[in-house]
Structure 1
Amino acid sequence: MKEYTTRVIGAPNTLEHRIYFEKNGVPISAFHDVPLYASEDKTILNMIVEIPRWTHAKVEINKATALNPLIQDIKNNKLRFVRNIFPHHGYMWNYGAFPQTWEDPTQVHPDTKVGGDNDPLDVFEIGEQIGYAGQIKQVKVLGVLGLIDGGEGDWKVIVIDINDPLASQLNDIYDVERHMPGLINASREWYRIYKVPDGKPENNFAFNGKAMNKKFATGIIRETHAYWERLVSGEVPPKTDLYDIQVVNLLVDDSPYKVPKNDTRVTGVPAHAPKPAAPTDPTNDKWAYVRQRRH
């Protein structure tokens, strides 16, 4: 993946901060142009890291901006930081998304009984290396949690970096508990309560919170990849009453939204100009205490 680099603009923790993706120095779409699969047999996938482990700035692939850079989410005109839920500081894994996937809100899944959340498929990577925002990790799939967040389906795919020391020993969801006891339970509990400090109800899960195996997770990935293909091919509109997605891309063959590299939306991306992270409100680092369930 050496041909893929990032173009960083502005300081983290500011409204101006952007992380664009490039291929051979040309800006591309993080959502549409980075390939989902990293191997011909489709057993290794590309994960885009949005939020590194132990951090909590809610950075994500932005659907509303052309070329879909990583941007920190905004709520009530303020940058969004996920609360630290004791005893965790931010996210306990590298969190991100699979490119070229889409949880279509018009498609009700038979197991969740709700439509998708209109985002790329969420992924959390459980290896030992701390990633960085904008990193493209090659990962293999282990399982999935069927989160239902605010009445929307929000699958959380469990993966591990193929270069992690434990990667050869982790091949399905059952191996995770064997080699990382407690991680799945802690992850499930975190997803259940992470919005409670903000006054929201607990989240629910399909399958009573059971983490489903690799075969099931692979089916979810294929399904959401097919939904993305319908979107980027023009089979379904990119804008409806339910959603509004920027679908401009440079590399998707047969897409009606494909543009040349001299398109103004490409040439208009500012030059690489990173800045040191801006300070944040100290209250963002406080722990929130939420009663957790016993397993």
Structure 2
Amino acid sequence: MRAADLGPGARRWPGLEEDGAGHYISPFHDIPLRVGAEKENGIPTKKARSDDDENLLHMVVEVPRWTNAKMEIATEEPLNPIKQDMKRDKPRYVANVFPHKGYIWNYGALPQTWEDPHHKDKDTGCCGDNDPIDVCEIGSKVLSRGEVVPVKILGVLALIDQGETDWKLIAINANDPEADKFCDIDDVKKFKPGYLEATIHWLRFYKVPEGKPENKFAFNGEFKNKAFALEVITSAHECWKALVMKKCDGGALNCMNAQVCDSPFRCTQEEARSVVDSVSPAAPGKESSGEEHVWHFLGK
């Protein structure tokens, strides 16, 4: 299952999800969080190789590894397409901070999760960042934008971004040839030495070339294990349920969905198609200024 893969900045509506039946769906709301729950929503998925069913979750790929375009689920737009983030009407790219080229993992999000900006986390003391939970996928394959893959959750890091909790899950594609070797965060240390340290370095400094300060972390930058990560996910899933059932204030978030039973935001396929058809194709994106080819050396 995957979205249309349109180039970074090429159109206003890249990455709109369609299920196996050709129906329009929201990658934020309509893809089941848990693998195996797709029968409930009628959305097919590839069979994963792991038997750890409780720890098999869907990841929506936003940014393939080694690329720089800052693509993300557009949470405030109808049906939440994947599109390039913009700043001052220019497409955003993440900087290359030596020795890292672009994103150092396949980067994406867990569907049907929401980090509630009104909910203060008991462990970090900060509220959520108003987005789905981010995923750093560490498998061997470079995935494609818009792919939906089953992942095994291994641990989590608590980034504190401008006073907000921004959880970063560490996961591996369940269909990766080495997935069976990875069951918890310590296995990453054992089988991919240096990867967690590189993750800390990347997340700490990636905004510095923009003139922003270094990012901070809760727990002194300690990675929490799988059990802790699954508790974080469960909490964010419950927050999403409240959001999509209109039991809390979602502010500017768009909760339009096509398949969430009993949601007051649920639309028909005719309404979904009307939304898509109403969006005029944008002109081809301009070439970037070349910043994704520039390297930054920060001396740390």
State TM-score, norm by structure 2: 0.89
Instruction: Tell me whether 38-47 or 212-221 shows the greater mean CA deviation.
Output: 38-47
Of residues 34, 38, 53, the one that matches 1:37 is: 34
Q: How do 1:1-295 and structure 2 match up within 5 A?
A: 4-8=1-5, 11-14=7-10, 16-23=12-19, 24-39=21-36, 41-239=53-251, 244-263=252-271, 265-270=272-277, 279-292=287-300
Q: After TM superposition, give the deviation of residue 282 of structure 1 in Å.
A: 2.2
Asked if the contact 2:63/2:71 (under 8 Å) is kept, the reply is yes
Q: After TM superposition, give the deviation of residue 278 of structure 1 in Å.
A: 5.9
CA distance in 2, matches of 1:259, 1:102: 20
Q: Give a deviation string over 1:116-137, Cα, whole Å, max 9, x none.
A: 0000000010001001110111
Q: Give a deviation string over 1:190-241, Cα, whole Å, max 9, x none.
A: 10111011111111111100000000000000000000000001111232xx
> Comparing both structures, which one devotes a greater share of its residues to strand?
1
Asked if the contact 1:12/1:275 (under 8 Å) is kept, the reply is no
Runs of 4+ with >4 A deviation: 273-278
Query: Matched residue of 1:262: which SS?
Result: helix
Asked if the contact 1:52/1:95 (under 8 Å) is kept, the reply is yes
Q: After TM superposition, give the deviation of residue 20 of structure 1 in Å.
A: 0.1
Query: Matched residue of 1:255: which SS?
Result: coil
Asked if the contact 2:30/2:257 (under 8 Å) is kept, the reply is yes
Q: Give a deviation string over 1:131-161, Cα, whole Å, max 9, x none.
A: 1110111100000001001111000000000
Q: State, as a whole percentage, how many aligned pairs show the same letter.
A: 44
CA distance in 1, matches of 2:54, 2:187: 21
- Matched positions, count: 282
Q: Which residue identity is paired with 2:165?
A: G
Q: After TM superposition, give the deviation of residue 14 of structure 1 in Å.
A: 3.4
Structure 2 unaligned regions, length at least 5: 38-52
Which residue number in structure 1 is paired with residue 49 of structure 2? none
Asked if the contact 1:50/1:96 (under 8 Å) is kept, the reply is yes
Asked if the contact 2:11/2:284 (under 8 Å) is kept, the reply is no
CA distance in 1, matches of 2:285, 2:85: 16
Q: After TM superposition, give the deviation of residue 166 of structure 1 in Å.
A: 1.6
Q: After TM superposition, give the deviation of residue 268 of structure 1 in Å.
A: 3.4
Q: After TM superposition, give the deviation of residue 65 of structure 1 in Å.
A: 0.8
